[in-house]
C-alpha cells in the first residue's frame, strides 16, 4: 500500500524516473528571434546508442540531469513561457488598444511578414506509447514542470497544445470562448450525446443552454436534497449489511450506483434502483459509459472503420445498449408528456411539479419539443455528466479521508453536531462547512474531468504565442490544481487551506487556478446540485460508519476515462460507528441562495449574453 501512496501523492517523482527522463528527452535546440525553442528528442531509452561503457553512461546521465536542471531553472525564471514582447507583438497590442479590428491588425502583420517574429511555443516530441501505460494526465504534469504553462505535445504528425497556465485557461474559457469549440470531445461523444449540451457548439449550444439551465432553479435543487438523503440511505443499508457480515466493500462501484440512482430520478424521474437490482437498463447505461470512456482514450477511432463497425461484437453490444436506453427514454418522455397534458399548467420561473420535480418535466412544461432528438441528447448528456463525475468525487474523497484520520475525525465531529441521525436538509448545507471544504479540496486534488478539451476555431493568441485555427487544446485542470506555483504543499490533502468563514472557492475568486466546474459561459450547470449531493452523501456515510482500506486490498492507482477511475477499485472495510450521534436543534429555514456563499441558483445572462447557472460570488 505504501508504494501506492507514493504513486498517488508524488506523481512528479514517479514520473521523473518513469516517464520524463526516458521517453521524452528535452534539449535546447535552437534560438529563434532571441528566444530559446525547446524540443524533445524521442529515443528508445533516452540515453543514446547501446554498447557504451558504464562510465560514458554515467557522464551522459549527469549531463542530462544538468540539462534538466538548467531547463527547469529557465522555466522558473520565465525564460520560455514569459517572453519579452517583440516589436511586432507590441505593435499588435497597441493597434488593438486603439480599437482597430483584430482581423485588420492580423492581416496587416501577416502581410508585412511580422508574424514570423512571434515566439514559438515550447515543444515536447515523443511516441504515443509513452503515454499509454499510465493515467496520461500524470505524464502531462511532469511535462508541465519542464515545459511550462503552455507547450506543444507532438506525436508524429499529430500535436496538442497543453495549457496549465491560469491566465491562458481564463482566456480560452471566459474571455474568448467563442473562438473555441469542443473539438475532439464532440467527435468522441457524438454516438451517445449527439448535439447535447456538453458537446454542442455555436447556436445549438446557446439555444439549449437557455432552455436547460432554468430547470435547475433553487426550488428544484432544494427538492433534490431529500432525494440525496433517501438514495444515500439505501447505500447505508447496504453498508450496514456488509458491516454485519464482516464483508469488505468495493466503494467505487457503489458510488457509481448511488449517483446513477440520483441522476436518473433528477433528470427524468426514473428509479434505476441500481444499488439493489441489476436490470438490463443499468447494464446498458454502463455499457455505453464504458464505450464513451474507451473512445476518449483510444489512439485511433476504431469505431469508424467501415467493416469493423458492422461486425465488432463490442460495437453491436453498444448499439443494442443505446437502443434500449433510447426506447426507455421515449417511454419516459411519453409518460411525462401525459402528466404535463393532464395538469393545470401554470408555468413560471420556479415551476416544479411536486410529484415529478425532474428536469424532463420542467422542459416539457416549458414547451420543449417531445419528439426531438435534441431533447434525448440533452437528457443523455445530463445523465452521463451528472453520474460519473459525482461518483468519482465520492470515490477519491473517501480514499483521501481514510489516509488522513485527523481530517476524518474533524469531519465526523462536524456531522455529529450538525446532523445527528437524520437526513440532511437544505438548512444543514450552510452548516456543513468543513464537509464542504473536504469536497472542495478533494475536487482540487482529483478534478473530474482532469482535462478540458477545446479546439481553436480561429487564429488567436495564447499568452504571447500565436496559434492557428484547428489546434487541439487540453487545459490540464490537474496541472492547474497541483501547480507548485499556485499552491502551498500542492499534493497535500488539506481542507484547512480554505478558511471556513471565507468564500466558497471557485474559478473566479481563485483566478482560474482552481476550476472544479470549469468557467465562463460553459461552466457546469450542475455545480450546486453536485456540491449538495456529495456533501450530503459524505455527511450521511461518515456519520454512521468508520472506513478503512481493506486488508490485502489491491493498490489504489489511477486510470483515465472521462473522469479519474481507480485501476482495481476502492476496497474498504466498513464498521458501524460506536459513538451515538448528537441530535442538534434545528434553526429556521434559510434560502438556498445564501448557502455556503455559493451563488444563488438562478438564470442569469452571462457575458456575451450566454446563460450560466450561477453568477460568480
Ligand atoms: C461533482 C460533480 C460534477 C463535476 C466535477 C462537474 C464538472 C464539470 C465541468 C468541469 C464542466 C465544464 C466542461 C468544459 O468546460 O469542457 C461541466 C460541464 C457540464 N456539466 Fe458538470 N460536473 C458535475 C456534475 C454535474 C451534474 C450533476 C450535472 C447535471 C445535472 C452536470 C451537467 C453538466 C453539463 C450539462 C455541462 C455542460 C455545460 C455547457 O457546456 O454548457 N454536471 N461539468
The closest alpha carbon to 415, from 397, 402, 428, belongs to: 428
d(CA 177, ligand 1 centre) in Å: 16
Among the listed ranges 108-117, 244-253, 548-557, which one has the minimum average pLDDT value? 108-117
Average pLDDT over residues 356-375: 92
d(CA 197, ligand 1 centre) in Å: 10
User: Which amino acid residue places its CA nearest to atom 15 of ligand 1?
Assistant: 518
User: Which amino acid residue places its CA nearest to atom 36 of ligand 1?
Assistant: 524
Phi-psi region of 181 (alpha: psi -120 to 50; beta: other; left: phi over 0): beta
d(CA 276, ligand 1 centre) in Å: 27
Alpha helix segments (H runs only) across 43-128: 54-76, 87-97, 102-111
d(CA 527, ligand 1 centre) in Å: 7
User: How far is the C-alpha of 115 from the C-alpha of 289, rounded, in Å?
Assistant: 44
d(CA 351, ligand 1 centre) in Å: 23
Quick one: pLDDT band at residue 292, thresholds 50, 70, 90? confident
Q: What is the pLDDT of residue 30?
A: 32
Q: What is the pLDDT of residue 613?
A: 44
User: How far is the C-alpha of 364 from the C-alpha of 335, rounded, in Å?
Assistant: 11
Q: What is the pLDDT of residue 77?
A: 52
Q: What is the pLDDT of residue 471?
A: 96
Neighbour tally for 500: CB within 10 Å: 11
How big is the CA angle at 530 (ends 327 and 454), to the nearest 5 degrees? 75
- Beta carbons of 593 and 218 less than 8 angstroms apart: yes
d(CA 473, ligand 1 centre) in Å: 18
d(CA 381, ligand 1 centre) in Å: 9
Name residues whose C-beta falls within 8 Å of residue 574's C-beta, 6 or more positions apart in sequence: 239, 242, 243, 248, 249, 545, 546, 547
Q: What does DSSP assign to residue 302? A: G
Q: What is the pLDDT of residues 15-71, one digit of tens each?
A: 333 333 334 433 333 333 333 333 333 332 223 334 445 565 566 567 656 655 665
User: How far is the C-alpha of 455 from the C-alpha of 246, rounded, in Å?
Assistant: 51
d(CA 9, ligand 1 centre) in Å: 26
Q: What is the largest CA-CA distance in the chain?
A: 87
Residues in the chain: 617
Binding-site residue positions for heme: 524
Among the listed ranges 45-54, 71-80, 253-262, 450-459, which one has the minimum average pLDDT value? 45-54
Burial 251-288 (b: 16+ CB within 10 A, else e): bbebbbbbbbbbbbbbbbbbebbbbeeeeebbebbbbb
Residue 100 in 3-state DSSP? coil
User: Which amino acid residue places its CA nearest to atom 20 of ligand 1?
Assistant: 524
Among the listed ranges 22-31, 97-106, 463-472, 502-511, which one has the minimum average pLDDT value? 22-31
User: How far is the C-alpha of 220 from the C-alpha of 350, rounded, in Å?
Assistant: 8
User: Which amino acid residue places its CA nearest to atom 5 of ligand 1?
Assistant: 448
The best mutation among 389, 443, 478, 601 to test binding of ligand 1, ranked by most ligand atoms within 8 Å of the C-beta, falls on 389
Higher pLDDT, 448 or 129: 448
User: Which amino acid residue places its CA nearest to atom 2 of ligand 1?
Assistant: 390
Q: What is the pLDDT of residue 617?
A: 30
Quick one: pLDDT band at residue 591, thresholds 50, 70, 90? low
- Beta carbons of 127 and 155 less than 8 angstroms apart: yes
Higher pLDDT, 565 or 305: 565
User: How far is the C-alpha of 457 from the C-alpha of 478, rounded, in Å?
Assistant: 25
Of the segments 148-157, 374-383, 576-585, which one has the largest average pLDDT value? 374-383
Average pLDDT over residues 569-594: 70
Q: What is the pLDDT of residues 461-498, one digit of tens each?
A: 999 899 999 999 999 999 999 999 999 999 999 999 99
- Beta carbons of 43 and 25 less than 8 angstroms apart: yes
| Closest ligand 1 atom to Cα of 182 | 16
| Closest ligand 1 atom to Cα of 477 | 10
Q: What is the pLDDT of residue 574?
A: 98
| Closest ligand 1 atom to Cα of 212 | 35
Q: What residues are in contact with ligand 1 under a 6 Å CB criterion? A: 197-198, 209, 381-382, 385-386, 389-390, 393, 448, 452, 516-518, 522, 524-526, 529-530, 534
d(CA 469, ligand 1 centre) in Å: 26
User: Which amino acid residue places its CA nearest to atom 43 of ligand 1?
Assistant: 524
| Closest ligand 1 atom to Cα of 393 | 1
Q: What is the pLDDT of residue 513?
A: 98
Question: Which residues are paired to 215 by β-bridges?
Answer: none
Q: What is the pLDDT of residue 418?
A: 96
Quick one: pLDDT band at residue 4, thresholds 50, 70, 90? very low
Average pLDDT over residues 324-344: 93
Residue 250 in 3-state DSSP? strand
d(CA 525, ligand 1 centre) in Å: 6
Q: What is the pLDDT of residue 16?
A: 34
User: How far is the C-alpha of 212 from the C-alpha of 363, rounded, in Å?
Assistant: 7
How big is the CA angle at 372 (ends 371 and 374), to the nearest 5 degrees? 150
Q: What is the pLDDT of residue 72?
A: 60
The best mutation among 384, 524, 528, 534 to test binding of ligand 1, ranked by most ligand atoms within 8 Å of the C-beta, falls on 524
Q: Which helix (H) or strand (E) holds 160?
A: strand 158-163
| Closest ligand 1 atom to Cα of 449 | 10
| Closest ligand 1 atom to Cα of 209 | 41
d(CA 216, ligand 1 centre) in Å: 13
- Beta carbons of 525 and 213 less than 8 angstroms apart: yes
User: How far is the C-alpha of 250 from the C-alpha of 257, rounded, in Å?
Assistant: 11
Q: What is the pLDDT of residue 502?
A: 94
- Dihedral over alpha carbons 584, 585, 591, 597 (to 10 degrees): -50
Radius of gyration of the chain (CA): 25
- Beta carbons of 438 and 426 less than 8 angstroms apart: no
pLDDT at 586 over 70: no
| Closest ligand 1 atom to Cα of 515 | 10
Neighbour tally for 22: CB within 10 Å: 18
Q: Is the dihedral of CA 281, 286, 292, 295 positive or negative?
A: negative
Q: What is the pLDDT of residues 161-186, one digit of tens each?
A: 999 999 999 999 999 999 999 999 99
User: Which amino acid residue places its CA nearest to atom 37 of ligand 1?
Assistant: 198
Q: What is the pLDDT of residues 530-542, one digit of tens each?
A: 999 999 999 999 9
Average pLDDT over residues 85-104: 75
pLDDT at 546 over 80: yes
- Beta carbons of 217 and 350 less than 8 angstroms apart: yes
The best mutation among 209, 526, 531, 610 to test binding of ligand 1, ranked by most ligand atoms within 8 Å of the C-beta, falls on 526
Q: What is the 3-state secondary structure (H, E, C) of 473-532?
A: EEEEHHHHHHCCCCCCCCCCCCHHHCCCCCCCCCCCCCCCCCCECECHHHCCCCHHHHHH
| Closest ligand 1 atom to Cα of 359 | 30
Quick one: pLDDT band at residue 232, thresholds 50, 70, 90? very high
The best mutation among 385, 393, 516, 606 to test binding of ligand 1, ranked by most ligand atoms within 8 Å of the C-beta, falls on 385
Average pLDDT over residues 339-361: 92
d(CA 614, ligand 1 centre) in Å: 13
Among the listed ranges 105-119, 410-424, 561-575, which one has the minimum average pLDDT value? 105-119
User: Which amino acid residue places its CA nearest to atom 9 of ligand 1?
Assistant: 517
| Closest ligand 1 atom to Cα of 382 | 29
pLDDT at 382 over 80: yes
Q: What does DSSP assign to residue 247? A: -
Q: What is the pLDDT of residues 302-315, one digit of tens each?
A: 788 877 777 889 99
How big is the CA angle at 405 (ends 400 and 406), to the nearest 5 degrees? 110
Q: What are phi and psi of 570, to 5 degrees?
A: -120, 95
Quick one: pLDDT band at residue 84, thresholds 50, 70, 90? very low
Burial of 129 (0-12, 13-18, 19+ CB in 10 A): exposed
Mean pLDDT, the chain, whole residue set: 82
Amino acid at each position: 500500500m505504501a508504494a501506492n501512496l507514493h504513486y498517488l501523492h508524488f506523481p512528479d517523482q514517479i514520473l521523473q524516473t518513469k516517464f520524463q527522463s526516458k521517453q521524452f528527452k528535452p534539449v535546447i535546440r535552437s534560438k529563434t528571434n532571441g528566444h530559446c525553442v525547446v524540443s524533445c528528442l524521442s529515443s528508445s531509452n533516452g540515453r543514446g546508442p547501446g554498447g557504451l561503457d558504464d562510465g560514458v553512461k554515467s557522464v551522459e546521465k549527469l549531463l542530462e540531469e544538468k540539462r534538466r536542471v538548467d531547463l527547469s531553472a529557465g522555466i522558473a525564471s520565465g525564460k520560455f513561457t514569459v517572453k519579452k514582447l517583440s516589436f511586432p507583438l507590441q505593435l499588435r497590442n497597441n493597434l488593438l488598444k486603439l480599437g482597430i479590428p483584430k482581423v485588420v491588425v492580423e492581416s496587416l502583420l501577416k502581410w508585412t511578414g511580422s508574424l514570423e517574429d512571434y515566439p514559438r511555443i515550447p515543444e515536447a516530441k515523443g511516441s504515443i506509447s509513452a503515454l499509454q501505460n499510465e493515467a496520461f494526465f500524470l505524464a502531462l504534469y511532469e511535462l508541465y514542470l519542464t515545459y511550462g504553462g503552455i507547450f506543444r505535445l507532438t506525436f508524429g504528425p499529430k500535436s496538442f497544445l497543453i495549457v496549465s497556465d491560469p491566465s491562458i485557461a481564463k482566456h480560452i474559457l471566459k474571455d474568448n470562448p467563442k473562438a473555441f469549440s469542443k473539438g475532439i470531445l464532440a467527435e468522441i461523444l457524438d454516438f451517445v450525446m449527439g448535439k447535447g449540451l456538453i458537446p454542442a457548439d455555436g447556436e445549438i449550444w446557446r439555444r439549449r443552454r437557455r432552455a436547460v439551465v432554468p430547470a435547475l432553479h433553487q426550488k428544484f435543487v432544494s427538492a433534490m436534497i431529500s432525494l440525496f438523503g433517501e438514495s444515500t440511505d439505501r447505500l447505508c443499508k447496504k453498508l450496514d449489511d456488509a458491516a454485519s457480515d464482516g464483508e469488505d466493500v468495493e466503494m467505487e462501484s457503489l458510488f457509481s450506483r448511488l449517483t446513477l440512482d440520483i441522476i436518473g430520478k433528477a433528470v427524468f424521474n426514473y428509479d434505476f434502483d441500481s444499488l439493489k437490482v441489476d436490470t438490463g437498463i443499468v447494464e446498458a447505461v454502463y455499457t455505453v459509459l464504458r464505450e464513451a470512456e474507451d473512445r476518449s482514450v483510444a489512439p485511433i477511432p476504431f469505431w469508424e472503420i467501415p467493416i469493423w463497425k458492422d461486425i465488432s461484437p463490442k460495437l453491436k453490444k453498444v448499439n443494442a445498449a443505446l437502443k434500449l436506453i433510447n426506447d426507455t427514454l421515449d417511454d419516459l418522455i411519453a409518460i411525462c408528456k401525459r402528466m404535463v397534458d393532464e395538469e393545470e399548467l401554470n408555468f413560471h420561473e420556479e415551476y416544479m411539479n411536486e410529484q415529478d420535480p425532474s428536469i424532463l418535466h420542467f422542459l416539457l412544461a416549458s414547451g420543449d419539443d417531445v419528439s426531438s432528438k435534441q431533447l434525448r441528447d440533452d437528457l443523455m448528456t445530463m445523465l452521463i455528466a451528472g453520474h460519473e463525475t459525482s461518483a468519482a468525487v465520492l470515490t477519491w474523497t473517501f480514499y483521501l479521508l481514510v489516509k488522513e484520520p485527523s481530517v476524518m475525525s474533524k469531519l465526523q465531529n462536524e456531522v455529529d453536531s450538525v446532523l445527528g441521525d437524520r437526513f440532511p436538509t437544505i438548512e444543514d448545507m450552510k452548516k456543513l462547512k468543513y464537509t464542504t471544504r473536504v469536497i472542495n479540496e478533494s475536487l482540487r486534488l482529483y478534478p473530474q474531468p482532469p482535462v478540458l478539451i477545446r479546439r481553436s476555431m480561429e487564429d488567436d493568441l495564447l499568452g504571447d504565442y500565436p496559434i492557428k485555427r484547428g489546434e487541439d487544446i487540453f487545459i490540464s485542470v490537474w496541472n492547474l490544481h497541483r501547480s507548485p506555483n499556485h499552491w502551498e504543499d500542492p499534493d497535500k490533502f488539506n481542507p484547512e487551506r480554505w478558511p471556513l468563514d471565507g468564500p466558497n472557492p471557485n474559478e473566479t475568486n481563485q483566478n482560474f487556478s482552481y476550476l472544479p466546474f470549469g468557467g465562463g459561459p460553459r461552466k457546469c450547470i450542475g455545480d450546486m446540485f453536485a456540491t449538495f449531493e456529495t456533501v450530503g452523501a459524505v455527511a450521511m456515510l461518515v456519520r454512521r460508519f468508520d472506513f478503512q482500506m481493506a486488508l490485502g486490498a489491491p493498490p489504489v492507482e489511477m486510470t483515465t476515462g472521462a473522469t479519474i477511475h481507480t485501476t482495481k477499485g476502492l476496497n474498504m472495510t466498513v464498521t458501524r460507528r460506536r459513538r451515538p450521534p448528537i441530535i442538534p436543534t434545528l434553526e429556521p429555514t434559510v434560502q438556498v441562495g445564501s448557502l455556503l456563499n455559493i451563488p444563488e441558483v438562478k438564470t442569469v445572462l452571462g457575458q456575451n449574453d450566454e446563460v450560466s447557472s450561477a453568477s460568480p460570488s
